[in-house]
Amino acid sequence: MTLDEECKGCLYNSQMKKVERSHTDKAKLEKFRQRVRELCENPPAHYCAPLLMRDIDGAHRKIFGGGIDYSAEKQMFNSAVLAMEGDLFSHITASPDPLAEAIKYAAAANYIDFAKLSDLNADSIATVKQAAEKTVPDAATLALLKSRLESAETLLYVHDNCGEVVFDKILIRIIKNLYPQIFVTSLVRGGEIINDATRKDAEFIGLAQYSTVEDSGETVPGTYLKELSPRALRLFKESDVIISKGLGNLETLFGEGYDIFYIFMCKCAHIARRFSLPQWSTAFVHEGR
C-alpha cells in the first residue's frame, strides 16, 4: 500500500514524542527532528509506512548511536499479557466457537502499536478486552479459513507487535487443538524495530512450544517482500495457509499476489476507508491470488 499523508504526520508525531521523552541533548534532538521532517516530507514514490518508519529509526541510529528503544515497553506488554494467558486460553477454549473467539482477541490486540500510539501503558490491555468483546469476525472469511485449515498441512503466521504476539500464540494454540495435522511456522522480525516482535520476544513468551519460529531477515516493521530472506520468501510461496497480523504487514503484503488472511485493527482513517469499516474497528479479511 502506498504511503498516505496521514501516515507521515502520525509517524512524525509519535516518534518525536518517544524520542523527546528519552533524550535531553537539545542539539541532537533538533537534528533528529529536522531529519525526520525531511524524511516525512520527501519519501520515495513507492514507499509505504513501514519503510518510512525504518528510515526514521535509521536516522535515530545515526544521530544517537542506536535505534529507538522500546525494550521497556516490550517487556511490560509481553509480561502483562503472559500473566493472563492461562485464563484467556481457558475462556476461549470453552466458548462455542474457539477459533472465532481467538481471532476476536488477536484482532483487538493489534491496538498495541507504538508507531501509531506513543502513550500506551499496561492499562491498554483493558481496551483490548473491550474491543474483543465487540468484535464479530466476518462470517464468510471465517468459514473460508475453517475450510482451508481442514485440509492444510502447513500454516505461516506472520506476527506484528509485542504484547499482541501472546494473543497470536493463543490463536495458534487453538488452531493446533482444532487442526492437529497442521505444522505452524511463526515469522517475526529480523531485528529490533519499534515494538515489533523478534526472536527474543518469541523466546520470552514461549512461542516455540507451538510453532517453529523463523525471522524475516529484514528490520522493517512490516514484511517487505523485496528484502525477505530466501527462507522467509519460500514460506510465503509454499505454505498452505497464511495469516498476517497488523497494519505493518498489511501495508507491505496486501496487493502483492499472495493468498492471505489478514487480522488487524483499523487504527488509521485511510485503512478504514480502504476496507469500508469504522476507524478503530477490528478487521478480518481475505485476499486471494
8 A C-beta contact, residue 50 and residue 224: yes
What mean pLDDT do residues 106-116 have? 73
Residue with cell 516455540: 208
Query: Is the domain of 160 the same as that of 189?
Result: yes
Query: Is the domain of 55 the same as that of 127?
Result: no
Pick from 239, 263, 254: nearest CA to 148: 239
Give the best-scoring range by mean pLDDT among 13-17, 111-115, 208-212.
208-212
Query: Is the domain of 58 the same as that of 92?
Result: no
pLDDT (tens digit, 9 = 90+) per residue, 162-198?
888 999 999 999 999 999 999 999 999 999 998 899 9
Residue with cell 519499534: 194
Query: Is the domain of 49 the same as that of 150?
Result: no
Domain harbouring 262, CATH code: 3.40.50.10880
Pick from 70, 68, 136: nearest CA to 97: 136
Q: Is the pLDDT of residue 259 over 80?
A: yes
Confidence of residue 113 (pLDDT cuts 50, 70, 90): low
Query: Is the domain of 80 the same as that of 47?
Result: no
Alpha carbon of residue 154 to chain centroid: 21
Q: How far lies 122's CA from each of 67, 78, 130, 137, 151, in Å? A: 23, 10, 14, 26, 39
Segments forming the whole domain that contains residue 282: 71-287
- CB-based contacts of 44: which residues, under 8 Å, 6+ apart? 51
Query: Is the domain of 10 the same as that of 92?
Result: no
As for how many domains the chain has, the answer is 2
Query: Is the domain of 232 the same as that of 261?
Result: yes
Q: Is the pLDDT of residue 5 over 80?
A: no
C-alpha torsion sign, points 51, 57, 61, 62: positive
User: Which grid coordinates belong to 189?
Assistant: 522480525
Q: Is the pLDDT of residue 124 over 70?
A: no
Query: Is the domain of 27 the same as that of 89?
Result: no
Query: Is the domain of 166 the same as that of 231?
Result: yes
Altogether, the residues listed in the chain come to a count of 289
What mean pLDDT do residues 54-63 have? 95
Burial of 277 (0-12, 13-18, 19+ CB in 10 A): middle
For residue 161, give the DSSP letter: B
Confidence of residue 119 (pLDDT cuts 50, 70, 90): low
3-state secondary structure of 196: strand
Residue 133, pLDDT score: 78
Query: Is the domain of 202 the same as that of 152?
Result: yes
* Predicted model pTM: 0.92
pLDDT (tens digit, 9 = 90+) per residue, 194-226?
889 999 999 999 999 999 999 999 999 999 999
Q: Which of 23, 45, 64 is the last residue of a domain?
A: 64
Query: Is the domain of 140 the same as that of 225?
Result: yes
> In what helix (H) or strand (E) does residue 57 lie, and over which residues does it extend?
helix 49-64
Query: Is the domain of 23 the same as that of 54?
Result: yes
